[in-house]
Amino acid sequence: MLRQRIVTALVLVAVLLATLMSASRWPFALLTLTLMAAGGWEWARLNQAQPAASLAMGALVALAGLLSLRAGWVDHAPPALWLAATAIWVAGGALALRRGTDSWKHLPRLGRLALGLIAIWLAWLAIAHARTIGINFMLSVLCLVWMADVAAYFGGKAWGRRKLAPSISPGKSWEGVWTGMAGVLLLSLFWVWLDSHAAVDGPSLYTRLNSTWGTTAMAPALLALSGLSVVGDLIESLVKRAAGAKDSSRLLPGHGGVLDRVDALLPVLPAALALIAWKISP
């Protein structure tokens, strides 16, 4: 299992780096859209859609992405999209987690599929748009989620006592959440320093927030993004638990499915852009 995880991770990183190094934006956009379309297929399967409907769901994610490319939204996405997506994740995520798996199963299937389609499409549009802002910016958002996850894992192992959501994800603890947030704050300070001492293609998320709001105001924004990463993770866990599934699929050997790897990114990517929307809007 460990060998599979390592091999899969290395292959994904190699392909990702190859697309990022391309002078054209298309390889990265199409690669990530393919992955998100697979995530749409997984979402439909987890919500008890028939095989044909699950494939159609993946196709709809791909179609929405291609239409966004044609409309020019990858370069100039309406800022209102990020604000609306963030508001939906904050309000809808809190409501879904409060009501739990039983309530989720009783929602109309079409509604569940529509929510997944919108969330996955917006996450793809956000990462494609972040790439146009700059590789440094995009990586800083991705690393925020990864740091929150890794620090939470080790913090939970070391100090976890109080369960965060035992009926949804028994392994998560409040102590892990706080450790993850602390890790993100430390990462932000390092990245702001790195931006000022290294040749980068543009400022990171942290430098943008720091220069606009100052260090003191930057901290609550980063804590909010860390919290949203937890919400994204828990929502996918809720959906899998409602479906009686351990992984979203087996598309990525040793890692489960695409949604298992990007769940925390779904709310964070649009929320990060919402925080700086006025700065990057035309």
Q: Report the distance separating Cα 127 and Cα 28, nearest Å.
A: 10
252 close to 106: Cβ distance less than 8 angstroms? no
- What's the pTM? 0.94
For every one of its 282 residues, what pLDDT tens digit does the chain have, with 9 covering 90 and above?
557 767 777 888 888 888 988 888 889 999 999 999 999 999 999 999 999 999 999 999 999 999 999 999 999 888 999 999 999 999 999 999 999 998 998 999 999 999 999 999 999 999 999 999 999 999 999 999 999 999 999 999 999 999 999 999 999 999 999 999 999 999 999 999 999 999 889 999 999 999 888 888 899 999 999 999 999 999 999 999 999 999 999 998 878 899 999 999 999 999 999 998 865 433
Q: Which domain holds residue 194?
A: 2-280
CB 106: neighbour CB atoms within 10 A? 9
Please count the structural domains in the chain: 1
Sorted by sequence, the CB contacts under 8 Å of residue 48 that are 6+ apart come out as 109, 243
Pure H helices in 48-173: 51-71, 79-106, 109-133, 135-159
3-state secondary structure 18-43: HHHHCCCCHHHHHHHHHHHHHHHHHH
Q: CA distances (Å), 42 to each of 34, 60, 207, in order? A: 13, 13, 35
Backbone CA torsion sign across 102, 103, 108, 110 = negative
